[in-house]
Amino acid sequence: MKTLDFQAGEVILVNKPLHWTSFDVVNKLRYELKQKLGIKKIKVGHAGTLDPLADGLLILCTGKKTKEIESFMGLEKKYSGTITLGSTTPSYDLETEIDHTFPLDKVTENQVKAEVEKMVGTFAQQPPIFSAKKVKGKKAYDLARAGKEVKLEPKVITIHSFELSKIELPLVHFEITCSKGTYIRSIASDLGKSLGNGGYLSALRREKIGPYHLKDAHSVKEWVEIIQTSDMNNNPSI
């Protein structure tokens, strides 16, 4: 049983729900802490964004622990998810509508496996234009949604492992372990291109960040209950 002191600083493991932004989670738990503690301010931040269309592990830091956020962001990450072949979307995921479709009759499971093997290693990745990358002070996805041209510089990333758990075309189920800054959406798009086809990310879950596991995380609802039902004069425990 661990005693929690949110004001002094805690590392909170959250199972982020689908469709919530990382900032939604931060804002919700910050509000609950301020209400419970009867204070106007408390530092709460996340250690690495997780897209709204992804669920899974999100690390939050409170109090003095927010000074350590950068160290968490650099940790290796593990994801599981699904790539849908035979189609593309401008955002490389389900945020935007399908813009092109391709026949899959010439794509085989062995071809998919062969291309996946080639994608393990260190290389320059092209970030999706629907991303939070800054372009002249503005977020790329804001420019992309406004229909403006967006040019992003490739970034060197490392794919440590890329395992296929099941192939049932057009669906490719996978697990990836990768470095900081990796866009799994770009991996999905690149896999489609390498097959002379199309692909987009249709499901994503973050399973692990460094030594921290999703199985040890609590839902937002559970964290709210922990905060609301705890006697903050005697620090809550989990």
Q: Which residues are catalytic?
A: 51
Exposed e or buried b for every residue in 30-42, given b needs 16+ CB within 10 A? bebbeebeeeeeb
Question: Is residue 52 within 8 Å of residue 35, measured between CB atoms?
Answer: no
Question: Is residue 161 within 8 Å of residue 120, measured between CB atoms?
Answer: yes
Cα separation, 231 vs 238, in Å, equals 13
**What does each C-alpha distance from 41 to 51, 147, 198, 214 come to in angstroms?**
26, 38, 47, 28
**DSSP output for 163-222:** EEEEEETTEEEEEEEE-TT--HHHHHHHHHHHTTS-EEEEEEEEEEETTEEGGG-EEHHH
**What does each C-alpha distance from 132 to 60, 137, 181 come to in angstroms?**
19, 11, 11
**Count of residues for the chain?**
238
